Amino acid sequence: MKRELKDLSKEEWDKLFPIALHPHDPKWPLIYKDEKDQIVNRLGNSILKIEHVGSTAIPAIKAKSYIDISIEILVEHLFNEEIIQSLEKLGYTFFRQEGKDLDYMVFVKGYNLNGEIEQVFHIHMYPSGHELLHQITFRDYLIANPERAKQYENLKTQLADQHKNDRVGYRVAKDNFILETLDLAKKL
């Protein structure tokens, strides 16, 4: 039986795909745009909003070279088999992700079972009003506040060293900074 990404344990993911930060690459927004065009061509009217989020969307800071894509959909399209199959045809692997109030869809592309990484894409797909909309607020605040963005880069650099082979630990260790930043954004 052929193994797939879905078969990997957390430990295998962490070992195969360690945390590695790279200087900001001005090509990242162009890579996003090309991928966005392919996604929109496949999903069309199912998409309410599509955005480039994550650190590759923030100029001048280091990031994992993954392109994070936020896609807002109608709640009735959540876990829609046609959407899943359309993105699988583009090379994505689907995962159901647990949310605080409502689960959502995650799609990944660019990972190989031998540990080699191509251009990685992460799609976070969720319905209107979902907690993941904060990704856009966070991105916008850091773009508008380069000093805060630099603080985020410094934190990420420190955490990448501490959590090189612990992807969940790396993500969770950033939570307080993200929540503080979202509080700052609310005060505007």
pLDDT per position as a tens digit, 28-81: 999 999 999 999 999 999 999 999 999 999 999 999 999 999 999 999 999 999
Give the largest Cα separation in the chain, rounded.
Answer: 54
Find out whether 143 and 61 touch, Cβ atoms under 8 Å. Answer: no
Long-range contacts of 87-90 (CB under 8 A, 24+ apart): 87/39, 87/42, 87/43, 87/123, 89/42, 90/38, 90/39, 90/42
Task: Report pLDDT for 168.
Answer: 92
Find out whether 1 and 41 touch, Cβ atoms under 8 Å. Answer: no
Strands 93-97 and 117-127: unpaired
Q: Has residue 98 got a pLDDT over 70?
A: yes
Integer Cα distance of 49 and 114 in angstroms: 34
Domains of the chain: 5-186 (3.30.460.10)
CA–chain centroid gap for 24, Å, is 16
What tokens appear for 47 in the block? 């998409």
Could you give the dihedral angle defined by the CA atoms of residues 170, 176, 179 and 185, in that order, rounded to the nearest 10 degrees?
-100
80 contacts: CB under 8 Å, gap ≥ 6: 46
- For the segment 109-134, the average pLDDT, to the nearest whole number, is 92
Tell me how far apart the terminal alpha carbons of the chain are, to the nearest angstrom: 54
For residue 40, what is the enclosing H or E element?
A: helix 28-43
Task: Report pLDDT for 119.
Answer: 94
Question: How many helices, marked H, and strands, marked E, lie in the chain?
Answer: 7, 5
Integer Cα distance of 72 and 165 in angstroms: 30
Residue 114 pLDDT grade (very low, low, confident, very high; cuts 50, 70, 90): confident
